[in-house]
Amino acid sequence: MSMSRRTSKWEPRRPVDASERQLTSAMIASLAAEGLPTVSAPFGHALVEAAQSNDKIVGLTADLGKYTDLHIFEKAFPERYYQMGMAEQVLMSAAAGLAKEGFVPFATTYAVFASRRAYDFICMAIAEDNLNVKIVCGLPGLTTGYGPSHQATDDLAIFRAMPNLTIVDPCDALDTAQATQAIAEHNGPVYMRLLRGKVPSVLQEHEDYQFEIGKAKLLREGNEVLFISSGFMTMRTLEAATQLEKEGVRVAILHVPTIKPLDKATILKHASKPGRLVITAENHSVIGGLGEAVAATLMRNGVTPAFRQIALPDEFLDAGALPVLHDQYGISTEAIIAQTKSWLA
């Protein structure tokens, strides 16, 4: 049975109105556009569901249970929850030890702390031995306004070169719930970017959508522009495509929730269609993420469409309110529309 039929515990709640969004802190501000439904803690609830049928699943965190939605798991399974304190290296080492004993540890922290503080421990203790550890990290890319100390704009670049590591970047609540179940069943180390708290819900409109590790999914077809996107940028490209279509621009969207292994065959199939501008869109630095992975795939296979990237700049970003920062750095819906129209002109 698909996860899309099993998500009653985290059905979309009421839409977020503008006044509520303005009062939300910069760290946990919702990414949902006005009127878009949201789902509360989809990762936490999905992990509880997975753990009900697999008693080997355990949860660990580095003093961030509440901020990675792992507190949902703690409440359901307190005897399977481990609070490691502010020690990310210890967190990853403990997860490796539990995996060696046959458990399926889900280790949560912020993406900056996993990629920067704990990199060597993940590499040597987990990835080299191909251990069954799931690393699930909040605040990926520009999803907090707290500045460079918390903005993981380079995590994909850091982790893409690590052998054995699967990398997942879900779009919304449904994607997150389905991906959680999928990585729980997958044997091997996984790094998943986490949208936490009240997570936008957009893929429920695509009734046949089902997350699969290593598979890209075509969400809509169009003959003028092809967006290849991941994470919440798929939500943004869907919004942009709706507006662009009103202006006569036909837009296709290929959602790529697995960054590694990359679904090269599907990307090449859709990027090979003649006459379309191909644009990658990601919540990550222009260096080392989805855009460069797609560009390398196209070049190595002799596919040469007109190609552009929408991504964060190669610099340390400002602190501030997320809507302002997303406009400033070109990843808001309005910025995507404006940039796309300029490239088509």
> Could you tell me the two tokens for 39?
């789902």
pLDDT of residue 44: 98
Report the SS3 class of residue 321: coil
Q: Residue-wise over 222-252: b if at least 16 C-beta within 10 A, else e?
A: bebbbbbbbbbbbbbbbbbbeebeeeebebb
Neighbours of 163 (CB within 10 A): 9
DSSP codes, 118-174: SHHHIIIIIITTT---EEEEESBSS--SS-TTT-BTTHHHHHHTSTT-EEE---SHH
Q: Which residues, 6+ apart, have CB-to-CB distance to 174 below 8 Å?
A: 3, 4, 7, 39, 42, 201, 203, 204, 209
CB 88 within 8 A of CB 109: yes
The fold adopted by the segment(s) 214-344 is Rossmann fold (3.40.50)
Question: Distance of alpha carbon 111 from its chain centroid, rounded?
Answer: 11
User: Of the candidates 330, 264, 273, 272, which has an alpha carbon nearest to the alpha carbon of residue 294?
Assistant: 264
Domain 31-200 has CATH 3.40.50.970: yes
What residues does each domain of the chain span? Answer: 31-200, 214-344
Give the integer Cα–Cα distance in Å for 106 and 112: 17
Residues forming beta bridges with residue 310, ordered by sequence position: 281
Per-residue pLDDT of the chain (345 residues; tens, 9 = 90+): 333 333 333 344 444 444 333 333 444 456 877 778 999 999 999 999 999 999 999 999 999 999 999 999 999 999 999 999 999 999 999 999 999 999 999 999 999 999 999 999 999 999 999 999 999 999 999 999 999 999 999 999 999 999 999 999 999 999 999 999 999 999 999 999 999 999 999 998 998 999 999 999 999 999 999 999 999 999 999 999 999 999 999 999 999 999 999 999 999 999 999 999 999 999 999 999 999 999 999 999 999 999 999 999 999 999 999 999 999 999 999 999 999 999 999
DSSP codes, 225-271: EEEEE-THHHHHHHHHHHHHHHTT--EEEEE--EEES--HHHHHHHH
Name the active-site residue from 49, 74, 88, 292: 88
pLDDT of residue 31: 83
Report the first-to-last Cα separation within the chain, whole angstroms. Answer: 46
Cis peptide before 78 (omega within 30 of 0): no
pLDDT of residue 337: 98
CA angle 329, 116, 215 (to 5 degrees): 70
pLDDT of residue 17: 46
> Could you tell me the two tokens for 119?
């990199």
Residue type present at position 122: I
User: Would 31-200 and 214-344 be classified into the same CATH topology?
Assistant: yes
Give the integer Cα–Cα distance in Å for 53 and 252: 38
88 annotated active-site = yes
3-state per-residue secondary structure call for 89-126: HHHHHHHHHHHHCCCEEEEEEEHHHHHHHCHHHHHHHH
